[in-house]
A and B are shown apart, each in its own frame.
Chain A
């Protein structure tokens, strides 16, 4: 009926739900197992007389089962509380497992030793502050980075920076140098070129300025602010349509400069920009040419 050998044969060769087989060996998931290995002598199911030590909230209990209670799973395990003191606990184990097979006594004591050591270690560690390993939820991180990118694009930082710098330029935070870095300067001028051609023509007739060279190089943050100021002003002043947009390629830069400086002169109250832009300006216009031709 209940023979350990028969039970072991059935369990081991057929199916035991507690057995966990990994490449290093066969282990037993049963919480009452003394060693943790799936073994004929350490199987709590196949040995009708068995003892273990389990811990509950840091207190160790000695659990024992005997064959007399084998048919009552409710009351199968008898529990004895073990004292904190290691030696006393060993004595209590000895007393309760006095005539039991040596293997079980030995393994129970080994288990008690190991659990005591673990308990000491855990208590010591609990006192120290430990780094807590947090998992990085991959999904959230990726989602955040994607959203960051989109927000960056949507914010159009370049434009807002330009605007901000332009305002600052207006307020006179910066000095006079406008055409460094060269590429941005050219770019802005190209943009401005189309919008402000007519205005340019209007103005240049009466504002032909010859200014000195680059004597003072003052630092400019961004030539684009210069460009933006031009844009802002052109939007402000200039309502005309773009009929006169005929890019005069060669002299664009200088036109723009003059225009811009002119505009700036106009725009600013005049505190810092009383000095003319130290830029060589060569003014040439279609009108001027035509006039000359006409003269000819």
Chain B
């Protein structure tokens, strides 16, 4: 927000003297207020309920019969039926919401809460937002107004417009300031409303054109402009949110007269100075003074202290099962390598020796070996049958290992 307040040129009209070149006015602080579409939408939704007229069905509708239920035992359903006889209506079901000619479910009542209360501060916030939005050409364009030929936004015209008396002159004023195409758009869009509204006294619809805001009470411009389709007139002291943000959408094209523009400062005050007309009211502050996030992030002050971007992202490695994967096992237990090697070698040894043994057994033995085995067997037998070992105690003691 600039410290010096920017200037807005006042558009001269033809009737003015050409002497003062460009009168300028300071931009009031209202136009710098934060734009809060959510606040505006809430306030608009609730304020537009305040103009409603109650509707309801008749209190006695559906009950104007003396219907009694026939009870059980007559092979009919138990809803109340019309008493009497001699007419079609007798015996027909009545009163229930499912019955023909019965009262509706939950008959609408006039004591429904039609109007809504909106906090004063909220209402003011919404109006202030809407005024600020009307100063941003992009938002006015986005709302659909034709502003290609207006010289400046916010559009301020000289006070000579307030004394315009004829509608033709009013149209001329609009043409001079370039707002005529918007009014023309509104006139061309005059159409019959689709839907039942057309038979409920809301037959025609058209677009909204520019909103003219005037400053002095009783200006004749009201009468001059009020018959132009789409154009609305409002006094600056009685600004209406439903006119500043029609449909809850920000950015109506507003044409200010010079006196109205100058009054804005006193009506709404500034961010520090409270307003004169609204007791103790100070303009709301935005949560962020500079809302341009991308600009802030890319500014030098921040980029200089920001750490460089991490291009490579570290990802967690996949878990490997040590029982199946040898390298995973080795990471946990380095001795496993040698242990396993030893085991393998031992295994190989065992296998080899067994092989040899089997081979030797399977090979047919030579005559010398066979004779040797036989002789050994015989001698052992001899030792077994000799009795001398038993008789000689020394031999016996040898066996027993007894020491005397």
- A contacts, CB < 8 Å to B: 1-7, 9-11, 13-18, 45-46, 70-76
Given contacts A1-B135, A16-B142, A45-B142, contact A6 B152 (CB under 8 A): no
Given contacts A1-B31, A4-B292, contact A71 B143 (CB under 8 A): no
Interface: B32 (CB within 8 A): yes
Contact with A along B127-160 (1 / 0, CB 8 A): 0000011011111011110011111110000000
Given contacts A1-B32, A17-B142, A45-B141, contact A10 B250 (CB under 8 A): yes
Given contacts A1-B31, A3-B291, A7-B138, contact A17 B143 (CB under 8 A): yes
Once the chains are docked, how many angstroms separate the CA of A10 from the CA of B40? 11
Interface: B274 (CB within 8 A): no
A13 touches B150 (CB 8 A): no
A6 touches B291 (CB 8 A): yes
Q: Which residue of B lies closest to A1 (CB)?
A: B32
A15 touches B149 (CB 8 A): no
Contacts across chains A and B counted by CB atoms under 8 Å: 78
By a CB distance below 8 angstroms, the chain B residues around A9 are 37
Once the chains are docked, how many angstroms separate the CA of A198 from the CA of B84? 78
Given contacts A3-B292, A10-B37, contact A17 B138 (CB under 8 A): no
By a CB distance below 8 angstroms, the chain B residues around A75 are 151
Query: Which of A3, A5, A14, A18 is most buried by chain B, counting CB atoms within 10 A of its CB?
Result: A14
> Which residues of B18-75 have CB atoms within 8 Å of chain A's CB atoms?
31-32, 35, 37, 41
Show 12 residue pairs from A and B whose CB-CB distance is below 8 angstroms, ordered by the A residue: A1-B31, A3-B290, A4-B292, A5-B293, A5-B295, A6-B35, A7-B136, A10-B133, A10-B139, A71-B153, A74-B149, A75-B151
> Which residues of B147-180 have CB atoms within 8 Å of chain A's CB atoms?
147-153, 178
Given contacts A6-B291, A16-B142, contact A74 B1 (CB under 8 A): no
By a CB distance below 8 angstroms, the chain B residues around A2 are 136, 138
B35 touches A70 (CB 8 A): no
By a CB distance below 8 angstroms, the chain A residues around B252 are none
Task: A1-B1, A17-B141 are known; give 5 further A-B pairs, CB within 8 A.
Answer: A2-B136, A5-B293, A10-B133, A17-B143, A45-B142
Q: Which residue of A lies closest to B133 (CB)?
A: A10
Query: Which of B141, B142, B147, B293 is most buried by chain A, counting CB atoms within 10 A of its CB?
Result: B142
Smallest CB-CB A-B distances: 4 pairs: A17-B144, A45-B138, A16-B142, A3-B292
Once the chains are docked, how many angstroms separate the CA of A71 from the CA of B11? 14
Question: A73's contact among B32, B142, B147, by CB below 8 Å, is which?
Answer: B147
A14 touches B250 (CB 8 A): yes
By a CB distance below 8 angstroms, the chain A residues around B147 are 73
Contact with A along B207-250 (1 / 0, CB 8 A): 00000000000000000000000000000000000000001011
Once the chains are docked, how many angstroms separate the CA of A5 from the CA of B295? 9
Interface: B333 (CB within 8 A): no
A71 touches B250 (CB 8 A): no
By a CB distance below 8 angstroms, the chain B residues around A46 are 138
Q: Which residue of B lies closest to A40 (CB)?
A: B294
Contact with A along B279-299 (1 / 0, CB 8 A): 000000000001111110000
B294 touches A5 (CB 8 A): yes
Once the chains are docked, how many angstroms separate the CA of A15 from the CA of B313? 40
B74–chain A nearest beta-carbon distance, Å: 59
B293 touches A72 (CB 8 A): no
> Which residues of B265-319 have CB atoms within 8 Å of chain A's CB atoms?
290-295
A14 touches B292 (CB 8 A): no
Once the chains are docked, how many angstroms separate the CA of A1 from the CA of B132? 8
A40–chain B nearest beta-carbon distance, Å: 9
A73 touches B148 (CB 8 A): yes
B137 touches A71 (CB 8 A): yes
B388–chain A nearest beta-carbon distance, Å: 119
B188–chain A nearest beta-carbon distance, Å: 16
